[in-house]
């Protein structure tokens, strides 16, 4: 394996498919979004993307089997606009690998007849109660559709890092239009709440219907963990203050 390649398992006949991509990144927003879609839509796996630019280890599965890190393509038949979903274990580990994987994905998308790609990721921001979704696109009409579906325009000058961004940058070489949706997230923990916001926009945009409350359990679990981490942090601060006071007493005695 000298280069990134896609291994097709079956060749489904797809009508005007739209590709939705979400690899691991900030808050795992992209990966959680695609994983939820795959489960809710019962999408079917039809190909893998392998790359020598992924990390150099394999993963042991539940039954002692082993597999390379990879990306996976799924399809979902939906009247006259089918969906292709893509997620994976990792981003490429080198700059050149990042460009190569995005290139290979665009090649494959083109071969599948894809005219529109939506990439999903996280956007680092201390979100209010409900994470917002910011959008950028390769054409204005596409962006407007995302805004109508509830997204806001991504702040000018901000970078979109990794595959979610590069696919947009490289897409015009393949004659494919692309839209990027980024959910606000603090980024350091898996963030299903942000993924839910993205899914709401995606649903409005693409006109399918997934069970969004299905994410609520995961969100509750995530919030419990955050609360627990916050308590640990608060206790740490309190103890540090206590120690400080003890120290200060000593100093007081001295003077």
Please give the Cα distance from 180 to 15 (Å, whole number): 22
Smallest distance, its own copies to C-beta of residue 98, A: 4
204 binds its own copies (CB under 8 A): no
Smallest distance, its own copies to C-beta of residue 145, A: 12
Who's near 153: CB < 8 A, 6+ residues apart?
134, 135, 136, 143, 147
Please give the Cα distance from 81 to 84 (Å, whole number): 10
159 binds its own copies (CB under 8 A): yes
245 binds its own copies (CB under 8 A): no
CB-based contact 30:164 (threshold 8 Å): yes
Only one of the segments 74-82, 136-144, 197-205, 215-223 lies at the binding site for its own copies (rule: CB under 8 A); that segment is: 136-144
Near its own copies by CB under 8 A: residue from 165, 190, 192, 222: 165
Please give the Cα distance from 86 to 205 (Å, whole number): 18
Rounded CA Rg of the chain: 21
Only one of the segments 24-32, 138-146, 200-208, 236-244 lies at the binding site for its own copies (rule: CB under 8 A); that segment is: 138-146
Q: Kindly write out the interface string for residues 107-126 of this chain, putting x where it contacts its own copies by CB under 8 A and - elsewhere.
A: --------------------
| Residue 21 backbone dihedrals phi, psi, to 5 degrees | -115, 140
Nearer to its own copies, 82 or 185 (CB): 185
Please give the Cα distance from 27 to 42 (Å, whole number): 24
Q: How many CB atoms lie within 10 A of CB 200?
A: 18
Q: Kindly write out the interface string for residues 85-104 of this chain, putting x where it contacts its own copies by CB under 8 A and - elsewhere.
A: -------xxxxxxxxx--x-
Nearer to its own copies, 25 or 27 (CB): 25
Determine how β-strand 133-137 pairs with β-strand 71-76: unpaired
Residues that bind its own copies (CB under 8 A): 1-2, 52-69, 92-100, 103, 135-140, 143, 153-162, 165-166, 168-170, 173, 180, 250-251, 253-255
């Amino acid at each position: 394996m000298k280069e990134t390649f896609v291994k097709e398992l079956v060749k489904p006949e797809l009508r005007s498919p739209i590709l939705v991509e979400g690899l691991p990144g900030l808050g795992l927003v992209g990966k959680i979004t695609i994983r939820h879609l795959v489960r809710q839509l019962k999408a079917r796996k039809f190909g893998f993307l392998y790359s020598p630019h992924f990390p150099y280890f394999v993963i042991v599965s539940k039954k002692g089997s082993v597999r390379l890190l990879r990306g996976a393509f799924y399809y979902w038949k939906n009247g006259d606009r089918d969906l292709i979903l893509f997620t994976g274990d990792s981003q490429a580990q080198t700059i050149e690998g990042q460009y190569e994987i995005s290139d290979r994905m665009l090649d494959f998308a083109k071969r599948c007849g894809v005219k529109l790609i939506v990439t999903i990721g996280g956007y680092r921001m201390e979100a209010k109660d409900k994470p917002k979704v910011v959008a950028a696109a390769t054409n204005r009409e596409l962006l407007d559709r995302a805004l109508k579906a509830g997204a806001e325009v991504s702040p000018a000058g901000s970078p979109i890092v990794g595959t979610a961004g590069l696919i947009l940058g490289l897409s015009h070489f393949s004659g494919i239009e692309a839209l990027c949706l980024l959910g606000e997230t603090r980024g350091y923990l898996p963030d299903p709440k942000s993924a839910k916001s993205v899914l709401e926009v995606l649903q409005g945009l693409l006109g399918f219907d997934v069970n969004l409350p299905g994410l609520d359990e995961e969100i509750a679990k995530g919030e419990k963990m955050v609360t627990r981490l916050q308590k640990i942090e608060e206790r740490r601060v309190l103890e540090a203050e206590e120690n400080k006071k003890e120290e200060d007493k000593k100093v007081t005695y001295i003077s």
